[in-house]
Amino acid sequence: MRRKSSSSSSGSSSGRSRSSSSGGCGGGGGVVVVVVVVEVVVVVVVVVVVVVVVVVVVVVVVVVVVIVVVVVVVVEEVVEVAVVVVVVVVVVVVVVVVVVVAVAVAVAVVVVVVVVVVVVVVVVVVVEVIEEIVVVVVVVLVVVVVVVVVEVVIVVAAAAVVVVAVVIKVVVVVEVEVVVLVIVVVVVVVVVVVVVVVVVVVVVVVVVVVEVVVDVVVVEVVVVVVVVVEVVVVVVVVVVVVVVVVVVVVVVVVVVVVVVVVEVVLVVEVKVVVIVVAVAVLVA
């Protein structure tokens, strides 16, 4: 703020009057602190969303694997060893793919988040012409809420698939496995609902904090930079969610198809060939 006093005294005085009259954040230093704090909060929210997405994927995969294992256990008396081995290979491949994708996505998000924080801090430190700044975090938080809603839809869809599988098993064979699967579905739904509620509460708290702290509206150069940076973060989050959705759908479809194939080919005596083909398609 020292250079400004020598180069533009009138602008500095007007800026000071604006700050004092509007009850701003207490000068450039206060603005820097507010910007950094708010950006860190936004980053934390985005990371929480990504973690929730990964947790949802893991939960869905666990549920599907439980279904496959239960089916294999129920029909193990008539299923050959080769079929069981192939099914286990399919499950392992699916789990490995999901874990690799989840880790890659998490690493990518962490890298982007670090870059975003560094860029924001550098811009705030270098651009000393800031008197007041608007942090457009509300828009980002709205997008995060939308992402959370998308997660809920994904989880409901996955649970619906499991429920359909349970119904099919009830119609075909009524055994103890149905009770186990129903319990698993209930536990998964409860866990996901709790996680989503926690994320929504975090988002609401951040919105309230931002509305209390940021009470001045002045559009300057840094606002554009902040908007661009936060849009990049939002795009990354949306891409992550889309990728996770695709992975979840593929995993559920593949495993359910494998289970159905195992159930059907027991009658047809070509089970090994069909399941090997399914594994080849999955790997391809």
What pLDDT is stored for residue 4 in this prediction? 45
Segment holding 217, helix H or strand E: none
Name the residue range of residue 144's domain: 29-283
Residue 259's pLDDT is: 65
pLDDT mean over 84-111: 58
**pLDDT confidence of 263, banded at 50, 70, 90?**
low
Decide if 108 is inside a domain.
yes
The total number of structural domains in the chain stands at: 1
**Least reliable range by pLDDT among 16-30, 41-55, 64-78, 150-164:** 16-30
In a domain, 256, yes or no: yes
> Which residue is listed with tokens 């080769």?
82
CA distance 118 to 91: 41
16 within domain boundaries: no
CA dist 240 and 278 (Å) reads 27
Mean pLDDT of the chain: 56
Considering the domain boundaries, does residue 21 fall inside one?
Answer: no
| Residue 24 falls inside a structural domain | no
Identify whether the C-beta of residue 198 lies closer than 8 Å to the C-beta of residue 49: no
- pLDDT at 178 > cutoff 60: no
| 267 pLDDT above the threshold of 60 | no
CA distance 90 to 98: 12
Q: Is residue 23 part of a domain?
A: no
Averaged pLDDT, 84-90: 55
Tens of pLDDT, residues 120-152? 555 555 554 444 444 445 555 555 666 666 666
* 18 located within any domain: no
Residue 6 lies in a domain: no
